[in-house]
Structure 1
Amino acid sequence: MTNPRTSIHKPVILLAIDTLMSTPLEVVAQTGRAPALQFLMENGQYIPNLVSSFPTMSVTIDSSLLTGTYADQHHIPGLNWFDISKKSIVNYGTGLRETYRLGWKKVATNTLNRLNNEHLSENVTTIYEDLADMGISSGSINALVYRGNNPKRLQVPRLLSAFTEFENGEWTTNATSTFSLGTFSKLRPWSFPTKVVAGNYKYIVREMKYLIKKEQLPAFTLCLFQDLDTRIHFKGPMDVKGLIKIDREIQKLLNLYPSWEDALKQNIWMVIGDNGHSATGFDYEKYIIDLRKILSHYRIARIEKPVRTKDELVLCVNQRMAYVYLLDDDMQISQITDDLKKDSRIDVIAWKDDSWVHVVSGKNQGKLRFTKGGHDVDEYSQSWTIEGNGELLDLKISEDGKIFYGDYPDALARLYGALHSHSGRFIVVNAKPGCDFKAQSTPFHLSGAAHGSLHRQETLIPLIITGTKQTPSTPRIVDMKAFILQLIHQQIEENTHVKD
């Protein structure tokens, strides 16, 4: 593998902070409680409204970030979905009760192995794979989506091996050349991760400090902080204590250089969120949407049992969005959508029919359908044919065919992506802000916050870029891969030109 420093002079470091949101970030930066983030914002470029993927769940978002595609191409539909070919629910860890009922072995194997080696589509490449093909090294620290070109033999700790389907607790995965994932792969052989699958914010920074001190930074490193998410679920979207703690650790990275300015001269630093949160209400009856009650007159598969021939529906909840799967070929989708429309808390109900996507709502009247290609063009230069009531997705269409998004940013491409992300007959439902979906054993978040939906509160995330004046072509997470590759390509070309 080529030493990255022989090809580029400024490695790219992407600090991804799960649940980082623009308003709390701006508050802690402006009030001096996050000096490192404030320094990066003031000495770089700040984009407060980068568009995330959909559903706004980490594995789908990370897959979009690394492949530069939405779910219709990378095929990771969410944290919880149904594999029609195997008649089995695929869950990557949505909560203890749901994991227990589905089976620890199944969830662990899906998360640790099948996510990267089976479910992530072979028809797309990750940024790690593209860099490896160029002879350029890359690193992944603490991220569950990590597929690269470097085979690694990983082993589950002995005490946990009984909870997996791996023979002798071992499996081979394709990862990055520099790879850290909790107890399964450590950069510092003497270290002890604070969590089994992933480390906390302090452990992660120690791994990064090790690379910087040893001058072993790859050309590109993704470092993922996961600590904020759980806290925000319980404390609400404006809680900043967790962010302040992470900032203290980022300060330690910058302090490794003679000055913070030198840190920017030697590296390109980026800080990015993955999804936002919508505050949830206090009253269970008012704010928790129990899909089992709405669809109680159908036979709904139980998650702890194999799907039976008499089962009619499968429910897979991703917090504020959910997939409703129809197992009976004779059942009409309209039967289900008519029931869902009776609940005014469900603001988007969508399904696909051939190349068309259909949308109705429990909140608004009318119908909408759209398909790719046509005379209407949105702000991301994507063309569409749209028929019906655009207000269902808060679309504004000018007389000359320009599409403008409101409450649901890039709604057409993101909704199309989710509905074409995997096989089967299913409906996507989206909850209005303040509400959370529930099915059997699904965790919900009263008096806190949740994500998953198409809404702008969970969709728009911050991005900080320092060490370069360039920005992505458009402010979307699917444009980040091309942007990072461009930065590395340019450095290689500059070095080649200097040598010539």
Structure 2
Amino acid sequence: MKQKQQAAKPVILLNIDSLMPHSLETAAQTGRAPALKFLMENGAYFHNMVSSFPTMSVTIDSSLLTGTYADKHHIPGLNWFDNCRKEIFNYGTGFRETFRLGLRRSVHNMLYRLNNEHLSSDVTTLYEDLAAKGISSASINSFVYRGNTPQRLHVPRFLSTLTRFKNGKWTTDTTSIFSLGSFSRLRPRGFTLQIAAGNYKYTAKELRHLIRKNKLPGFTFCIFQDMDARLHLKGPGYIKGIVKIDREIQNILNMYPSWEEALKQNVWMVMGDNGHAATGDKYREFMIDLRKILKSYRIAKIQRPVRKKDQLVICVNQRMAYIYILDDSLPKSTLVQQLKNDNRIDIIAWKDNGNIRVESGMRGGSFHFSPNGEYKDVYDQTWNLEGNLNLLDLDITDDKRLYYRDYPDALARIRSALHSHAGRFVIVNAKPGYDFKAQSTPKHLSGAAHGSLHRQESLVPLIIAGTAEKPVGSRLIDMKEFILRLCMSEQE
């Protein structure tokens, strides 16, 4: 008679915002992150997982949870323009920009529309797929949370007037166990100093609560968000944040008889979502003001509705930007020619008669590509290629194998951003050290920034402990299939 099957052990994924391979390795090797070192030494470590593009949190989390790039899940970035509604959508890029766009609108976009309207219904999230298999899940501190369990959330009373929710309450579909700062807490007496989401201590306390109460579901996703803001100010060499978060992970592991026992009872994964590129300290040199480059055009102002006479809308995602062309009589080539005059812009890309065309302010020539061709890359994707390969730092062997260097999975990621939403627009990417600026966008001088296609922001670490299983690929979009496989596996 067949033995009764037991469900696979719970899977816990800890996402440390802006965790980078070099910083993680330095902290572990110097003894400042003993918990992370233990997981690395007792599991598998990958230093080069490829993130999505743009390398901004909501796009990355959407890719992780749907297993697709932005051309499928339709979250183009933290800041983008909907050509159909003639509306800029911003999920919180900085106080000045958010304030000018309208605080009530931005909060509504972040808390509700992101999951209930913008995240495509043509794709399913990891949470939805797990629920269809009868496996519960938890989301702690993630703004991308779509599941299939209706939850009644609320905004603290003193903030309710800043939202579009009646009486500050709304219903949305989340995971069966859901925590998001002041809006939904697992601990009845839990408290967070941060309004929009919990800090790293809050996240750790919520996870410890689930472990203490023996309520861990099949899959738990936790985000530690604090480090990103510090890196913007202090630069990519900042390690103190890793040390603080590691202490919280130690406290979590200490809840078990031993750390080894923690691995026997659960699968533990730790990952970063994006890296950071160090930025220069001289404003005129290192800030690329797109309004000045394109000053001959009528650029929409973010504090008012887009007008018929406006020719351009600019949406900056730190070191990457979307430039939307509203004037049908304005050719993309004219705009591109002006952008090429700035040698701080390393990639300019747009859709061109079924192809993707790439030019640069740093290098001469042009490059075209499209999918389903004779060249196969390291991810088994095939492409048609024509032009100057150096524009994307590509390498091709005699047997038509394609390799990426400075821009990992560049072809698929550029194509996904260009097909992530409707409209006539051009993508620009800044070379390392430089940051884009438009109206009221945050500056990151003498610190660090992300958003671009470059490997500094695109390659993130992943630790897997408590299982011998591994993802089939080295991209964050491969994680959904891997987690599903772990959660659905059974043991004798």
Instruction: Give yes or no for TM over 0.5.
Output: yes
| Partner residue, 1:63 | 62
Residue in 1 aligned with 2:269? 270
* Structure 2 residue aligned with 1:322: 321
| CA distance in structure 2 between the aligned counterparts of 1:50 and 1:168, rounded to whole angstroms | 43
Aligned to 1:488: 487
Q: Which secondary structure does the structure 2 equivalent of 1:53 belong to? A: coil
2:106 paired with 1:112: no
Identify the residue that residue 260 of structure 1 maps to in structure 2. Answer: 259
**CA displacement, residues 6-64 of structure 1 (integer Å, 9 cap, x when unaligned):** 85241000000000000010001001010100000010000000000000000000000
Partner of 1:221: 220
Is residue 142–residue 199 contact of structure 1 (8 Å, CA) maintained in 2? yes
- Aligned partner of residue 306 in structure 2, secondary structure: coil
1:196 offset after TM fit, Å? Answer: 1.2
Letter in 2 for 1:94: T
| 1:89-144 deviation per Cα after TM superposition (whole angstroms, max 9, x unaligned) | 00000000001100001100000000000000000000000001111100000000
Gaps of 5+ in 1: none
Matched, 1:147 2:158: no
2:287 alignment partner in structure 1: 288
Equivalent position of 1:137 in the other structure: 136
Matches for 1:391-430 after TM superposition, within 5 Å: 391-430=390-429
1:75 is aligned to 2:71: no
For 2:98, the equivalent position in structure 1 comes to 99
Give runs of aligned pairs for residues 297-312 of structure 1, distance below 5 A: 297-312=296-311
For residue 182 of structure 2, what is the aligned residue in structure 1?
183
Aligned partner letter, 1:151: P
Distance 1:6 1:157, change over 3 A: farther
Amino acid at match of 2:170: W
Distance 1:197 1:103 in 2: 16
* Aligned AA (1:355): G
Q: Is the 8 A contact 2:136 2:219 kept in 1?
A: yes
SS at 2:489 equivalent: helix
- SS of match in other structure, 2:187: coil
- Segments ≥4 residues shifted beyond 3 Å: none
CA distance in 2, matches of 1:264, 1:159: 43
Distance 2:152 2:353 in 1: 42
Question: For the residues of structure 2 that align with 1:58 and 1:85, how far apart are their CA atoms?
Answer: 24
What are the within-5 Å matches in structure 2 for residues 336-485 of structure 1?
Answer: 336-485=335-484
- Answering whether residue 58 of structure 2 is matched by residue 25 of structure 1, we say no
Q: CA contact under 8 A between 1:9 and 1:266: conserved in structure 2?
A: no
SS in 1 for 2:39: helix
Amino acid at match of 1:138: S
* 1:166 partnered with 2:165: yes
Task: Tell me how far apart the structure 1 counterparts of residues 140 and 190 of structure 2 sit (CA, whole Å).
Answer: 14
Question: Do the aligned partners of 1:360 and 1:367 also contact (CA within 8 Å) in 2?
Answer: yes
What is aligned with 2:201?
202
Q: Which amino acid aligns with 1:335?
A: T
Shift of 1:88: 0.6
Checking the alignment, whether the CA contact within 8 Å between 1:65 and 1:477 is kept in structure 2 is yes
Q: How far apart are 1:355 and its partner, in Å?
A: 2.6
Length-normalised TM-score, structure 1: 0.97
Instruction: After superposition, give the CA deviation of every residue in 1:175-214 in whole Å (9 maximum; x if it has no partner).
Output: 0001000111110111112211211111111100110011
What letter is aligned with 2:200?
Y
CA distance in 2, matches of 1:7, 1:113: 37
Distance in structure 2 (CA, Å) of the matches to 1:204 and 1:395: 40
Structure 2 unmatched ranges of 5 or more: none
C-alpha distance after superposition, 1:408-443 (max 9, x if no partner): 000000000100000000000000000000000000
Q: What is the alpha-carbon distance in structure 2 between the residues aligned to residue 195 and residue 284 of structure 1?
A: 30
Pairwise CA distance, 1:159: 0.6
Match of 2:15 in 1: 16
**Percent of counterpart pairs with the same letter?**
64
Report deviation, 1:397: 1.1
Residue 6 to residue 59, structure 1, CA distance change in 2 (3 Å): farther
Specify the SS of the correspondent of 2:314. Answer: strand
After the TM superposition, which residues 215-254 of structure 1 pair with which residues of structure 2 at under 5 Å, given as runs?
Answer: 215-254=214-253
* Cα deviations by residue, 1:207-230 (Å, 9 ceiling, x for unpaired): 001100111001000000000000
Does structure 1 retain, via aligned residues, the 8 Å contact 2:8–2:486? no
Residue 211 of structure 1 is matched in structure 2 by 210
CA distance in 2, matches of 1:119, 1:210: 32
- Take 2:353 and 2:165, find their aligned partners in 1: how far apart are those partners? 39
Amino acid at match of 2:158: L
Kindly provide the amino acid, as one letter, of the partner of residue 424 in structure 2: R
Do the aligned residues in 1 keep the contact of 2:8 with 2:487 (CA within 8 Å)? no
| C-alpha distance in 2 between matches for 1:109 and 1:9 | 38
Provide the secondary structure at the position in 1 that maps to 2:7. coil
Task: State whether residues 187 and 207 of structure 1, in contact with CA within 8 Å, keep that contact through their aligned partners in structure 2.
Answer: yes
How far apart are residue 330 of structure 1 and its match? 1.4
How many angstroms apart in 2 are the aligned matches of 1:9 and 1:122? 29
What is aligned with 1:52?
51
Distance 2:308 2:232 in 1: 37
How many matched pairs? Answer: 489
Partner Cα distance (2:443, 2:427) in 1: 18
Structure 2 counterpart of 1:23, one-letter code: H
Distance 2:98 2:219 in 1: 34
Which residue is equivalent to 1:84? 83
TM-score, normalization by structure 2: 0.98
CA offsets 1:250-292 (integer angstroms, 9 cap, x no match):
0000000000000000000000000000000011111100000
Residues 8 and 488 in structure 2, CA contact (< 8 A), matched pair in contact too = no
Residue 354 of structure 1: CA displacement? 4.1
**Partner letter of residue 322 of structure 2?**
Y
